[in-house]
């Protein structure tokens, strides 16, 4: 198998794992509302702070891996031109991989910075950014699911070792 297919397989498997980890952390973090008051307790609640750190890191990691790594490799495997992030997202939308406008994806990228930079200084702004990210999780995970279904439907990858057995 060529390196391009191996890279596609690796990235697809990676984003599937990352998406599941993000969904799990999202569910635990939002088992109760993430309010300004709750954000204000991060210094005194280390487990909550760690859960928030995990959510923020997993949110950023999935977005980076799916949008900046998987998508260009997938487009290239289809013979599509690979361009800027916005161009790639527009192509993904045309292929049916991204249901929301590409601008929504770009706006979600800004949430990463807001979650990190507002972490200590302003609980209200932090709570707002974290809640916005929570609402974006389905967009990220549905993109991953759509990529997996697209690859499978077009048989872009031969069965892996586990699938051949």
**66-104 pLDDT, tens digit each:** 999 999 999 999 999 999 999 999 999 999 999 888 999
SS (H, E, C) the chain: CCHHHHHHHHHHHHHHHHHHHHHHHHHHHCCCCCCHHHHCCCCCCHHHHHHHHHHHHHHHHHHHHHHHHHHHHHHHHCCCCCCCHHHHHHHHHHCCCCCCCHHHHHHHHHHHHHHHHCCCCCHHHHHHHHHHHHHHHHHHHHHHHHHHHHHHHCCCCCCCHHHHC
Confidence check: pLDDT of 123 > 50: yes
pLDDT at 160 exceeding the cut of 90: no
Q: How confident is the model at residue 41 (pLDDT cuts 50, 70, 90)?
A: very high
């Amino acid at each position: 198998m060529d390196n391009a297919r191996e890279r596609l397989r690796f990235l697809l498997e990676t984003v599937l794992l990352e998406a599941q980890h993000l969904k799990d952390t999202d569910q635990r973090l939002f088992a109760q509302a993430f309010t300004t008051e709750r954000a204000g307790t991060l210094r005194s609640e280390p487990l909550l702070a760690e859960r928030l750190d995990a959510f923020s890191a997993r949110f950023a990691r999935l977005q980076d891996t799916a949008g900046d790594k998987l998508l260009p490799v997938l487009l290239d495997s289809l013979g599509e031109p690979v361009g800027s992030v916005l161009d790639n997202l527009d192509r993904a939308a045309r292929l049916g991989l991204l249901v929301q406008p590409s601008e929504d994806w770009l706006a979600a990228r800004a949430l990463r910075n807001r979650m990190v930079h507002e972490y200590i200084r302003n609980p209200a702004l932090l709570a707002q950014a974290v809640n916005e990210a929570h609402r974006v999780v389905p967009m990220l995970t549905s993109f991953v699911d759509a990529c997996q279904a697209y690859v499978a439907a077009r048989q872009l990858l031969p069965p892996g070792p586990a699938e051949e057995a």
